[in-house]
A and B are shown apart, each in its own frame.
Chain A
Amino acid sequence: QVQLVESGGGVVQPGRSLRLSCAASGFTFSGYAMHWVRQAPGKGLEWVAVIAYDGSNIYYADSVKGRFTISRDNSKNTLYLQMNSLRVEDTALYYCAKSGEVAWLYDYWGQGTLVTVPS
Chain B
Amino acid sequence: DRVMTQSPDSLAVSLGERATINCRSSQSVLYSSDNKNYLAWYQQKPGQPPKLLISWASSRESGVPDRFSGSGSGTDFALTISSLQAEDVAVYYCHQYYSIPLTFGQGTKVEIK
Contacts and interface: CB of A to CB of B under 8 A. Distances in A.
B106 A59 contact: no
A105 B85 CA distance: 27
B77 interface: no
Chain B, interface SS category: loop
Q: Give the interface size class of chain B.
A: 20 to 34
B3 interface: no
Interface residues of A, number: 20
Contact of B55 (A35, A44, A47, A105): A105
A103 B55 CA distance: 13
Contacts of B104: 44-47
A42 to B, nearest CB: 11
A104 B103 CA distance: 11
Contacts of B105: 44
A107 B49 CA distance: 11
Contacts of B42: 45
Interface string A31-46: 0000100000000111
A45 B61 CA distance: 20
27 contacts: A44-B93, A44-B105, A44-B107, A45-B42, A45-B93, A45-B95, A45-B107, A46-B104, A47-B101, A47-B102, A50-B100, A62-B101, A95-B49, A95-B50, A102-B38, A102-B97, A104-B97, A104-B100, A104-B102, A105-B52, A105-B55, A105-B97, A106-B52, A107-B52, A110-B49, A111-B48, A112-B49
Interface of B: 38, 40, 42, 44, 48-52, 55, 61, 93, 95, 97, 100-107
